Structure 1
Amino acid sequence: MTDLTYGPDADETIELKTFTEKAYLDYSMYVILDRALPHVGDGLKPVQRRIVYAMSELGLKSTAKFKKSARTVGDVIGKFHPHGDGAAYEAMVLMAQPFSYRYPLVDGQGNWGSPDNPKSFAAMRYTEARLGAYAEALLGEVGQGTVDWLPNFDGTLEEPKVLPAQVPNVLLNGTTGIAVGMATDIPPHNLREVVNATVHLLENPKSTVEELCELLPGPDMPTDAEIITPKQDLLKIYKTGRGSLRMRAVWRIEDGDIVVTALPYQTSGEKVLEQIAAQMQAKKLPMVADLRDESDHESPTRLVIVPKSNRIDTDQLMNHLCASTDLERTYRVNMNMIGIDGRPQVKSLDRLLGEWLEFRTETVKRRLNHRLKKVEERLLRLAALMIVFLNVDEVIRIIREEDHPKPILKERFNLVEMQAEYILDTKLRQLARLEEMKIREEQEALEKERDKLQLTLGSERRLKTLIRKELEAAAKTYGDDRRANIVERGEAQAFNESDLLSSDPVTVVLSEKGWIRAAKGHEIDPAALSYKAGDSFKYAARGKSNQSVVLLDSTGRSYALAAHTLPSARGQGEPVTGRLNPPSGATIDGLFMGEEKQQILVASDAGYGFVTTLADMYTKNTKGKNLLTLPTAARVLPPVPLENVNNAMLVAISNEGRMLVFPVSDLPELARGKGNKIMNIPAARAQSREEFMVAVTVLQPTDKLVVYAGKRKTIIKSADLEHYVGERGRRGNKLPRGFQSVSGVDVQS
């Protein structure tokens, strides 16, 4: 055990573990309660509350003259907030920025930063400030007995524990903060919508979050960008107090150019342009010709993106930019705050507004009681004044003749202490005939006010009505229309590499010895190209330059190569093994290009196969994808591209001269595997290579099948295929004599 000894006489010891735990806990509680989290009542952190209160004490109302910010900051840190002047000034600046606060609390004069760089504000010795008009909604009732007061840090002054906010400011301006072990991220909201939801909850205390969200559909940021979070996700945020929010820039087309007119909250237009320019320099945006920033005083946000031609799909381009730049941003929502019980907690919307209404109800009661007390005190003074007026001679005699007139007055006229004091302090001029009328008028008015106050305090219904009217009046005074519209948008998708490439026709050619190249256009004759000595043409595939060429090797593995990366057909190409890493001894037995949904028939000569797609054959792995599983001793048959599968017939021929025909649709579509049985070839005979499939192809109803047996060939029409039609997996029927050693097949349209 380690002991820590401290104190002037070193007569107290404490375990180091206990000391550090207590010290850290004290620090944590200080950061949570007195620095980082807002209070549900006024929605302010302590530094913000102290700035607003210090400015009100300096007389800096919205109608007052501006004063140097340094004066305000000096008062704040000297009287209430003993921290650095930089931190206090930065908090003050934030409350003055209309692009940071939905309803700014400070009205600034001078350089208070810009949306591109919120921290570019001038030093406090150069700027001037006063309170904004909206600050009155927080400060208007401070001196009316509505708040508890605490001593400041040195005990020489008092400061309000919380401001008597007339509206739920914790939602209106939102806040962010990081404490110890917890944080807060509350987005701004629209005052009118918040008041409508609060009034609804006031009148219907059992309202659900769904009902409140009909009136308060979502946050409302200081910018005009769109909120694209689905309504169900927003509802979940308000139910749990946690979630995330997405905003997307607003843009339109002007004379063929894309003009961005609104950016997401806390997004810099300068940074967005830098992000787009970086993509242009990296040649990832070939469809963009130019960028311009035309923002000015009249149009604070005007970013111009110039497409290279009017054929560019602007929706697709902006979809990419939203996914890859700050034109779309995600914000964390964590509605963590200090409740009216003094404890931090993440609150749902109904809980938050319910607690605020409790706070507001108590504030209004305290205000009314304070006013009632003042009215009753004034009535007592006026009653004393009337006694003097009606008994002026007697009062003057007592004051002139008695050494201690106060107790005599109290006894003679049945007065309380305060009334006797007031009589003794009354000036003779107040005893004029005209004053009697004024006293009676004031008494009458105050009695009416007293009765009204007592009625309101004694009736829950009247109290609710008063709170509702005050909320509606605040909404009328300070409210405005929603800025950030809530809209349904699809998810933004960034371009992949193929989207950025031009779509030009190409022909990919593979030679017998595995040399690959790509020629522009589809008109070339692959066999007429120049080949190395001893090499010749094997396969060709026609497609587009932004597609991939898919290969199938003799082990059943598939590969993919980007067509635009292949060498030109002006040369003799390069070995495909230089780009791929197939198994030793493997050869390429298939080459394809096309759309991802293009179907391909793959089969082994052991009599198994299935239908797949180019998308399923695609892989980025240079070692390929194990597409077709080969039984022992089996080999891959040349794959066959498929069209109009519903009407196509599959033709399978074995080395024993048997042919089987059945619909291609009887075969399953798989992503990989051995496949289903096409032709019944006994496993033992297949393994010994006594019997195997020599060919598989596909016929359309109008096609003819050409069968080759050495130098001989025969053409089988569709009508003659009936003899060979059977169920998938059968043995098939024998071909005519002389064609039972099939060397190949072909299809004639």
Structure 2
Amino acid sequence: METKQENVIATDYADVMQKSYIDYAMSVIISRALPDVRDGLKPVQRRTLYDMYELGIRYDRPYRKCARIVGDTMGKYHPHGDSSIYEALVVMAQDFKKGKILVDGHGNFGSIEGDGAAAMRYTEARLEKLTQEVFLADLDKNVVDFMPNFDETEKEPVVLPVKVPNLLVNGADGIAVGMATSIPPHNLGEVVDAVKAYIKNNDISVKGLMRYLKGPDFPTGGLVVNKDDLLNIYETGSGKLRLRGKVEVEKLKGGRQQLVITEIPYTMIGANIGKFLNDVASLVETKKTTDIVDISNQSSKEGIRIVLELKRDADVENLTNMLYKKTRLEDTFGVNMLAVANGRPETLSLKQIIEHHVDFVFEVTTRKYKTLLGKELEKKEIQEGLIKACDVIDLIIEILRGSKNREQVKKCLVEGITEGIKFKSKASEKAAKNLKFTENQATAILEMRLYRLIGLEIEALQAEYDQTMKNIASYEDILNNYDSMSNVIIEELDGIKKEYGTKRRTVIENAEEAVYEEKKMEETEVCFLMDRFGYMRVIDRNAYERNKEAAHAENKFVFTCMNTDKICIFTDMGRMHSIKVVDIPLVRFRDKGTPVDNLSNYDSTQEQILYVVPVGQVKLSSLLFVTKTSMCKLVAGSEFDVSKRTIASTKLGEEDALIFVGPADEMEQIVFQSQGGYFLRILKNDVSAMKKTSVGVRGMKLAEGDVLEHAYLIEPRQEYTITYHDKPYSLNKVKLAKRDTKGTKPRI
């Protein structure tokens, strides 16, 4: 048996990976994530719309289940999963995302507040009239190229013959490999005017185009407040838009007012509306503002309506500026006008987008009128044949009656061959030999019905012929004359603007940056409490005085501080977390409080709290740090007055941990206690003062395998007693020795 020889190709693994990744990246860029500059559609959108067109789901016909559309699209054109097709279909039907919706959805297609669409088995859809007449018209006239689908069983259009720059009208967003596109939607009427201006003057500048296209027009309305930046954005194809929501002031009874947000920035749609409400609530809770009494979201199908009820004498302008500054009521929209042009991704200016589209429209129009001209020339040939036949109809009838078969008649009509045909006279035969009809004319004559010989029908045929000749002259003029073709395109654009144009929704203006005066907090003394479970709270000073005994009995850390202060939390991992007192809830004495994890980067699963102190107190003293490997140092408290939420409070060696942090200014001696039962008492002055970034010096010489368990700061004139082996033991009795010595074991 003959064995098949394997053909092994040795190659470098890095080369294979590089080529494979480049192929993948290009596939994502060209065939998935980026729109084509000509029709402004991604492949999944184009295929879905074409499939609906093929299924006959037109705007004037009944809706069809989305599951049918998705299944058909996936089976014929887009074999990449049903979810991507359905998501594309849903977005094309959402009027709060698109400048002009392309799909007419029936059922739950999601909401502006981020609710998802219902499952595709419940929803129905059909094409919008705009889509059918502006995106899919003339597909039967050979206006675009078709290519085989993934399994070469169907044909799909390479691009749809869209008559307006959809890339501008509906915008685009997509993340490819190493690049992303983000194009805002624009007003259809303004886009049409800009295209007409370019057709009339190809040398027009971006600034000239912007006399017609003022800027983005978002379906959510709102304001673009950096008008002066737009020229640069449209010239370079990238930049940042500053968007604001529309805020109105309504007066209520009793001299009170309320702020009503009726339009939101485009970037706020979805879950960001909920986040905005939470941010406003947070401003109230943290007392950044006291002007807001109540917040309610009264939005409905009629539109957005978020109401902020204000207290009397509220500073409306200052509060509005605070909302712009502290919430997403003012946001940025990053513009990056990236699209596939001539088969490659390219960042395009406004003029380049219009230029590419106009070139495409001229190409589509040329192909359309060539097809129409071809059909009219065919009609002309037939009509001329029938008119000529009517003039010699008696001779043709004589040929038909004298012939034996169809072929004989046809040869006589086309070539004048009369052999085998019986004529009534020699004159008829001679006339028959002079006949010179074309093949198509002869076929039409043979298929002509007798009623066409009626006088009126012959007149109608002549009228049709005259119209055909007019059409041919018109089509030839359009094809051969740039101005004529331009007029046809402009006329079409005017019709689209008249039927589908709408008023601008987004206001374009220049606005100064929002500036607000933060009201200074009234400085008061409060009491901080943290229990052994890490729950912390702030209570009023008077409440603390009334419950002082219970406060100290039930909590691990208790101290008074100012409400403008910060709290420093030192942990065994050598980290310090800082929390503003104002961020800690001010509650009643018996309320539970908030876990420290919620207000800082502290992780209760990995670290333990050793010491908590207000920054106002710590920066005036020095702190003693002691680790389990007996490294110790004194650090000036001022090093911990920082703005960062979390810093390294000390440098730790591998597998080392802090066991003690405490204030050392009023103490004179340190006592170390090891796990092995050794105690060492030294003078505080034997320990060096160092930076927080240092490791420190060795405090006690430890036996192999031994570690420090406790450290104590003591004052020799005061008795300090601990429990050791279930018996009281005075730390003052520990022998005073030098640093870095072994220490002694107590005799108990």
TM-score (norm 2): 0.65
Aligned residue in 2 for 1:175: 172
CA distance in 1, matches of 2:470, 2:123: 48
- Aligned pairs for 1:69-148 (under 5 A) are 69-118=66-115, 120-135=116-131, 136-148=133-145
CA distance in 2, matches of 1:66, 1:161: 26
- 1:348 matches 2:344: no
Following TM superposition, by how much is the alpha carbon of 1:495 offset from its aligned partner in structure 2, in angstroms? 6.5
The code of the aligned residue for 1:330 comes to T
Please say if residues 581 and 623 of structure 1, whose CA atoms lie closer than 8 Å, have aligned partners that are also in contact: no
> Cα 1:189–1:281, aligned 2, differ >3 Å: closer, same or farther?
same
Following TM superposition, by how much is the alpha carbon of 1:125 offset from its aligned partner in structure 2, in angstroms? 1.1
Per-residue deviation, residues 445-481 of structure 1 (Å, max 9, x unmatched): 1111111111122211212222222112211111111
- 1:165 matches 2:175: no
Q: Secondary structure at the match of 1:129?
A: strand
> Cα 1:575–1:563, aligned 2, differ >3 Å: closer, same or farther?
closer
CA distance in 1, matches of 2:134, 2:33: 23
Q: 2:278 aligns with which of 274, 277, 290?
A: 274
Aligned residue in 2 for 1:63: 60
- Aligned pairs for 1:347-496 (under 5 A) are 347-399=348-400, 401-403=403-405, 404=407, 405-412=409-416, 413-493=435-515
CA distance in 2, matches of 1:623, 1:293: 39
Aligned residue in 2 for 1:317: 319
Following TM superposition, by how much is the alpha carbon of 1:487 offset from its aligned partner in structure 2, in angstroms? 2.0
> Cα 1:211–1:417, aligned 2, differ >3 Å: closer, same or farther?
same
> Cα 1:385–1:488, aligned 2, differ >3 Å: closer, same or farther?
same
Give the superposed CA RMSD. 3.1
Following TM superposition, by how much is the alpha carbon of 1:236 offset from its aligned partner in structure 2, in angstroms? 0.7
Per-residue deviation, residues 417-456 of structure 1 (Å, max 9, x unmatched): 3333333333334343332111111111111111111112
Q: 1:338 aligns with which of 334, 337, 340?
A: 340
Following TM superposition, by how much is the alpha carbon of 1:394 offset from its aligned partner in structure 2, in angstroms? 3.2
CA distance in 2, matches of 1:487, 1:458: 45
Per-residue deviation, residues 151-199 of structure 1 (Å, max 9, x unmatched): 1222222111111111111100011111122211111000111111111
Q: 1:304 aligns with which of 302, 307, 311?
A: 307
Aligned residue in 2 for 1:694: none
Following TM superposition, by how much is the alpha carbon of 1:576 offset from its aligned partner in structure 2, in angstroms? 11
The code of the aligned residue for 2:231 comes to L
Q: Secondary structure at the match of 2:181?
A: strand
The code of the aligned residue for 2:307 comes to V
- Aligned pairs for 1:331-730 (under 5 A) are 331-339=333-341, 341-399=342-400, 401-403=403-405, 404=407, 405-412=409-416, 413-493=435-515, 499=519, 501-502=521-522, 578=617, 580-581=619-620, 622=641
Q: Secondary structure at the match of 1:329?
A: strand
- 1:235 matches 2:231: yes
Following TM superposition, by how much is the alpha carbon of 1:8 offset from its aligned partner in structure 2, in angstroms? 8.2
Aligned residue in 1 for 2:294: 290
Aligned residue in 2 for 1:587: none
Aligned residue in 1 for 2:678: none
Following TM superposition, by how much is the alpha carbon of 1:60 offset from its aligned partner in structure 2, in angstroms? 1.7
The code of the aligned residue for 1:336 comes to L
Please say if residues 615 and 641 of structure 2, whose CA atoms lie closer than 8 Å, have aligned partners that are also in contact: no
> Cα 1:547–1:417, aligned 2, differ >3 Å: closer, same or farther?
same
Per-residue deviation, residues 120-146 of structure 1 (Å, max 9, x unmatched): 211111111111122021112222221
Please say if residues 61 and 131 of structure 1, whose CA atoms lie closer than 8 Å, have aligned partners that are also in contact: yes
Please say if residues 580 and 623 of structure 1, whose CA atoms lie closer than 8 Å, have aligned partners that are also in contact: no
Following TM superposition, by how much is the alpha carbon of 1:502 offset from its aligned partner in structure 2, in angstroms? 4.5
Following TM superposition, by how much is the alpha carbon of 1:113 offset from its aligned partner in structure 2, in angstroms? 0.4
Per-residue deviation, residues 337-360 of structure 1 (Å, max 9, x unmatched): 111x22221111111111111111
Following TM superposition, by how much is the alpha carbon of 1:266 offset from its aligned partner in structure 2, in angstroms? 4.4
> Cα 1:489–1:8, aligned 2, differ >3 Å: closer, same or farther?
farther
- 1:194 matches 2:191: yes
CA distance in 2, matches of 1:264, 1:296: 17
Q: Secondary structure at the match of 1:338?
A: strand
> Cα 1:332–1:423, aligned 2, differ >3 Å: closer, same or farther?
same
Q: Secondary structure at the match of 2:210?
A: helix
Per-residue deviation, residues 226-268 of structure 1 (Å, max 9, x unmatched): 111x222111110100111121111111120111111111424
Please say if residues 221 and 484 of structure 1, whose CA atoms lie closer than 8 Å, have aligned partners that are also in contact: yes
> Cα 1:23–1:312, aligned 2, differ >3 Å: closer, same or farther?
same
The code of the aligned residue for 1:580 comes to K
Q: Secondary structure at the match of 2:151?
A: coil
Q: Which runs of 5+ in 2 are unaligned?
A: 417-434, 525-561, 567-579, 584-612, 624-637, 644-748
Please say if residues 565 and 614 of structure 2, whose CA atoms lie closer than 8 Å, have aligned partners that are also in contact: no
Following TM superposition, by how much is the alpha carbon of 1:547 offset from its aligned partner in structure 2, in angstroms? 13
Query: How many residues are matched?
Result: 519
CA distance in 1, matches of 2:173, 2:282: 31
> Cα 1:253–1:435, aligned 2, differ >3 Å: closer, same or farther?
same
CA distance in 2, matches of 1:346, 1:395: 67
> Cα 1:502–1:304, aligned 2, differ >3 Å: closer, same or farther?
farther
> Cα 1:287–1:33, aligned 2, differ >3 Å: closer, same or farther?
same
CA distance in 1, matches of 2:44, 2:353: 22
Please say if residues 565 and 616 of structure 2, whose CA atoms lie closer than 8 Å, have aligned partners that are also in contact: no
Following TM superposition, by how much is the alpha carbon of 1:577 offset from its aligned partner in structure 2, in angstroms? 7.5
Q: Secondary structure at the match of 1:492?
A: coil
CA distance in 2, matches of 1:324, 1:232: 24
CA distance in 1, matches of 2:128, 2:642: 67
CA distance in 1, matches of 2:67, 2:385: 50
Greater shift, 473-482 or 457-466, is seen at 457-466
Q: Secondary structure at the match of 2:211?
A: helix
Per-residue deviation, residues 494-514 of structure 1 (Å, max 9, x unmatched): 775xx262599xxxxxxxxxx
TM-score (norm 1): 0.65
CA distance in 1, matches of 2:79, 2:36: 20
The code of the aligned residue for 1:316 comes to N
> Cα 1:212–1:577, aligned 2, differ >3 Å: closer, same or farther?
closer
Please say if residues 183 and 335 of structure 2, whose CA atoms lie closer than 8 Å, have aligned partners that are also in contact: yes
The code of the aligned residue for 2:469 comes to E
CA distance in 2, matches of 1:8, 1:227: 70
Please say if residues 67 and 129 of structure 1, whose CA atoms lie closer than 8 Å, have aligned partners that are also in contact: yes
Please say if residues 99 and 266 of structure 1, whose CA atoms lie closer than 8 Å, have aligned partners that are also in contact: no
CA distance in 2, matches of 1:623, 1:56: 64
Q: 1:250 aligns with which of 243, 246, 253?
A: 246
> Cα 1:500–1:326, aligned 2, differ >3 Å: closer, same or farther?
farther
Please say if residues 582 and 623 of structure 1, whose CA atoms lie closer than 8 Å, have aligned partners that are also in contact: no
> Cα 1:426–1:81, aligned 2, differ >3 Å: closer, same or farther?
farther
Aligned residue in 1 for 2:570: none
Following TM superposition, by how much is the alpha carbon of 1:111 offset from its aligned partner in structure 2, in angstroms? 0.5
Aligned residue in 2 for 1:509: none
The code of the aligned residue for 2:147 comes to L
The code of the aligned residue for 2:266 comes to Y
